[in-house]
Chain A
Amino acid sequence: MGRGDWEQSVVENRKPHVTFRGLTHEYGNGDARVTALTDIDLEIYEGEFVSIIGPSGCGKTTLLRIVGDLLTPTHGTVRIDHATPYEARHQRLFGAVFQDAALLPWRTAAENVSLSFELNRDADGDDKNRDVDELLDTVGLGGFHDSYPYQLSGGMKQRVALARALAARPRILLMDEPFGSLDEITRPDMGYELLRIWEGRPTTVLFVTHSIVEAVMLSDRVIVLSPRPGEIVDVVDIELSRPRLQFIEESQEFADYTALMRGLLKGARREPLAV
């Protein structure tokens, strides 16, 4: 199924996939209490690419960690098709790429990718090696299967991390500033490559970023959060056609979206979009 058809079915079905209800999280207690997120109500649809943008410390990482059951919220609920994050994690619905590639330094790129199979008790043995090779080729690391992380650049490590996440065949891909530590030259390339890979797979993506350009370039929708405590300021539909090709950033439409987003992040009320 091509991305175009997929898009179509998303629009038709609009079946909520991840649902947030009154989600609030507070760290610590007493005087040390920090409210990281307040009152998040949100639906994310199957196969959607959703970015979460907001200033540092507004609770983006907290939000992702709650979805992935790495953190239990103090108030409110998250459901993944009626399942709790705990159940979803045990059903192995998640994959993740973090800002820190967090590869196992004693394993080669290929061995790092196959970690996802090894950790999965139900994965069957035969297809693994072929899948690993294929995945590494997909993320553009054809010649580096046997390289160790210390031999790879930051961008290449993130590619391995992406391949490792995809190896788990996740239905929901959690990405926490995955390209945040990359330079401005490598970064957009990684974005386009992520789009190309995502377009071939019906995967829901929750993508945390503090780059406006990245959010607009990649997403179907962008959730804009306020400074701490993080609250939803607005949800912006990005109606740029797909597949999104290189240099889309240069278009007027794109510039309008980034301007809108910049305004929202500065705390401005939303004005009707002049397009």
Chain B
Amino acid sequence: MSLLQSKPAQNDTMPVGGSSPQSRHFANLSRFARRGFFPIITLAAVGALWEVIVRVSGVAEYLVPTPSAVWSRLTGDLGYFLFHGLITLYESLGGFAMGTVVAVVAAGVMAHSRLLERTVYPIALLIKVTPIVAIAPLFVIWFGFGSFPKMMIAALITFFPVMVNTFIGLRSVNPTTMDFFRLLDAGQAHVLFKLRVPSALPYLFAAFRIAVPLSVIGAVVGEWFTGDRGLGSVIIVAHHNIDMPTLFSAIAVLACIGLGLTGITALIERRVLFWHDSQQSGPGL
């Protein structure tokens, strides 16, 4: 469907000033370079400073490791970190997917009837205000070891922001457009799929930006309680052994996972929401 088309190339008969697809592509690349340049420089500078301070001051490695020690631990056993990282990634994404599906269905149900809204919303709110770390041990007891309890925790933490935003999105239809649908005697299904759902997409993506990193938190918290697999359990084990390079390596891999997922979400958003106001502003920084 048209929703999934990428931003169309603008030819020169268009009234809006635009650039060719090629130059747009280069603009994206150079923007990426510009965006990446300063953070990477800053990160490198902080790392170098850190290395020097640790070496000069002689702080023990079990308190603060040098970046070089972390780097050699990480690259020396890359397969190990990759294995556990992929498990955490799998649990995060699985939980995110489950949470999103349930949240969207709940939002649809709530948008459909005020009565259900009054019933479902307070329960959802209760889930939201309950600290996820407090529920995690319970899930481990209920669902045992393996990936499932972690996914459930990630799903739970994903659920609320996605549900609330989808609900608001389904309700945030342009009233004039709604009038047009009614005037043409459009059926319920048409109003839902041709109007409400596409109107809700910008809200859904706004929720994803929050929920995607949250789902990684959910997975890691789950792994803390069942020290079998995943970066969360790697962290717990390293913590017991006061193995700082391993601990920092796991944190670094988690940061990369978060960064990657956020980037991919933004990329998909740009393709799906090419028509939305949020995508029309020029290259921002």
Contact = CB atoms under 8 A, between A and B. Distances in A.
A151 B186 contact: no
A95 B10 CA distance: 31
Interface of B: 2-3, 8, 10, 13-16, 18, 174, 176-177, 179-187, 190, 194-195, 198, 201, 274-277, 280
A115 to B, nearest CB: 7
A116 B183 CA distance: 11
Nearest to A107: B2
Contact of A119 (B3, B174, B179, B190): B190
Contacts of A107: 2
Contact of A156 (B15, B181, B187, B198): B15
A148 B275 contact: yes
Given A89-B183, A119-B190, A168-B184, A143 B174 contact: no
Given A143-B13, A151-B10, A89 B185 contact: yes
Interface string A103-125: 11111100100011011110000
Given A104-B194, A104-B195, A104-B198, A147 B14 contact: yes
Give the 6 A-B CB pairs with smallest separation, nearest first: A102-B176, A102-B177, A119-B186, A100-B176, A105-B275, A106-B275
Interface of A: 65, 68-70, 89-90, 92, 94-96, 98, 100, 102-108, 111, 115-116, 118-121, 143, 146-153, 156, 168, 174
Given A98-B176, A150-B280, A151-B15, A106 B2 contact: yes
Contact of A70 (B18, B183, B280): B183
Given A70-B182, A148-B275, 5 more contacts: A100-B176, A102-B177, A105-B275, A118-B194, A146-B8
A99 to B, nearest CB: 8
Nearest to B18: A151
Nearest to B190: A119
Given A105-B275, A143-B13, A94 B177 contact: no
Contact of B179 (A70, A104, A108, A118): A70
The interface centre, meaning the residue of A105, A116, A146 with most chain B CB atoms within 10 A of its CB, is A105
A96 B195 contact: no
29 contacts: A68-B179, A70-B179, A89-B183, A90-B185, A92-B184, A92-B185, A95-B184, A98-B180, A102-B177, A102-B179, A104-B194, A104-B195, A104-B198, A106-B2, A106-B198, A106-B201, A118-B194, A119-B190, A119-B194, A120-B184, A148-B275, A149-B275, A150-B275, A150-B277, A150-B280, A151-B14, A151-B15, A151-B18, A168-B184
Contact of B2 (A96, A111, A147, A156): A111
Contacts of B14: 147, 151
A121 B181 CA distance: 13
Contacts of B185: 89-90, 92, 119
B169 to A, nearest CB: 13
Contact of B8 (A70, A148, A168): A148
Contacts of B276: 105
A102 B174 contact: yes
